[in-house]
């Protein structure tokens, strides 16, 4: 299974862009990168996913490098409610597409 | 996004009793559901993959006789913690994936979790 590496914690000022990096150097060509976040004592919330092209939705943008060995999740205008643990996950291609969670990045958005 | 509902949100039970947790996909059919456990200050740990109409696939180290999983319909999977002990106290979370087994680029949605406390 492809593993991901994320910084354990990051701070961001409210209103500024939050850029969360993720390394996944062993990713296979057909494996997708998924991002979820978990606010304390809740179930994870889906944010975005991609294969090799950059993706954008109403929540965030996902930038994947050309060699696909790393990616960055961008929250364009962070708010206090974006404080959460963010998980970058490479989806397992077989076995029903299960999601294996790493330790994630604890993002603190400060006023 | 699609909605996954867990019930109950929290439960307290006595040691030695069994507890059943339900996971429902409310507005879509889920061929595959997943069960996770999360201890305080830790990440989610996958326990098992639940497939509708067949036996669940358990991750290494997870006791299948203790954590019984049933996925009898396309919208419901249940996890039963049998003979619960205080060390089973944890946050249990289910997830359901949109789409069939051949569509692996679809997102999975999570329930709100169930806080189990065994006393």
Tell me the per-residue pLDDT of B58-78, one tens digit each, with 9 for 90 and over.
999 999 999 999 988 989 999
Measured between CA atoms, how close is A16 to chain B, in angstroms? 26
> How close, in Å, is residue B45 to chain A by CA atoms?
7
Q: Do B104 and A32 touch (CB under 8 A)?
A: yes
Alpha-carbon distance values, A105 to B21, B58, B72 (Å): 29, 27, 36
How far, in whole angstroms, is CA A105 from its chain's centroid?
9
Q: How far apart are CA A1 and CA B35, in angstroms?
A: 19
Of A46, A95, A96, which has the smallest distance from its Cβ to B107's Cβ?
A46
**DSSP letter string, A36-83:** EEE-TTS--EEEEEESSS-EE-SS-EEEE-TTSSEEEEEETT--GGG-
Mean of pLDDT over chain B:
91
Give the span between the Cα atoms of B6 and B111, in whole angstroms. 5
- How large a percentage of chain B has pLDDT more than 70? 93
Average pLDDT over residues B27-41: 91
Contact check, Cβ <8 Å, B49/A43 = no
Residues of A in Cβ contact (< 8 Å) with B1: 46
The pLDDT assigned to B17 comes to: 97
Q: How confident is the model at residue B6 (pLDDT cuts 50, 70, 90)?
A: very high
- Whether the pLDDT of residue A101 is over 80: the answer is yes
The mean pLDDT value for A82-105 works out to 87
Q: Judge: A101–B44 Cβ closer than 8 Å, yes or no.
A: yes
Q: How far is CA A68 from CA A10, A36, A52, A53, A64, in A?
A: 23, 18, 6, 9, 6
pLDDT, tens digit, for every residue of A42-85?
999 999 999 998 999 999 999 999 999 999 999 999 999 999 99
């Amino acid at each position: 299974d492809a593993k991901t590496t994320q910084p354990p914690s990051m701070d961001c000022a409210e209103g500024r862009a939050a850029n969360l990096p993720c390394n996944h150097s062993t990713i296979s060509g057909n494996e997708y990168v998924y991002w979820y976040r978990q606010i304390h004592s809740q179930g994870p919330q889906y944010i975005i996913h991609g294969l090799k092209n950059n993706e954008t939705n109403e929540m965030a943008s996902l930038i994947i490098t050309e060699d696909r060995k790393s990616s960055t999740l961008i929250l364009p205008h962070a708010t206090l409610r974006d404080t959460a643990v963010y998980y970058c996950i490479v989806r397992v291609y077989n076995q029903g597409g299960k999601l294996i969670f790493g330790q994630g990045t604890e993002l603190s958005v400060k006023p | 996004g699609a909605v996954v509902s867990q019930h109950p949100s929290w439960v307290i039970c006595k040691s030695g009793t069994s507890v059943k947790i339900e996971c429902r996909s409310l507005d879509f059919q889920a061929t595959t559901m997943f069960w996770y456990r999360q201890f305080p200050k830790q990440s989610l740990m996958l326990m098992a993959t639940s497939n509708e109409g067949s036996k669940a696939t358990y991750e290494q180290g997870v006791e299948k006789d203790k954590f019984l999983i049933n996925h009898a319909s396309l919208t419901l999977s249940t996890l039963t913690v049998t003979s619960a002990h205080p060390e089973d106290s944890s946050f249990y979370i289910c997830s359901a994936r949109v789409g069939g087994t051949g569509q692996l680029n679809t997102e999975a949605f999570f329930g709100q979790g169930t806080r189990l406390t065994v006393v």
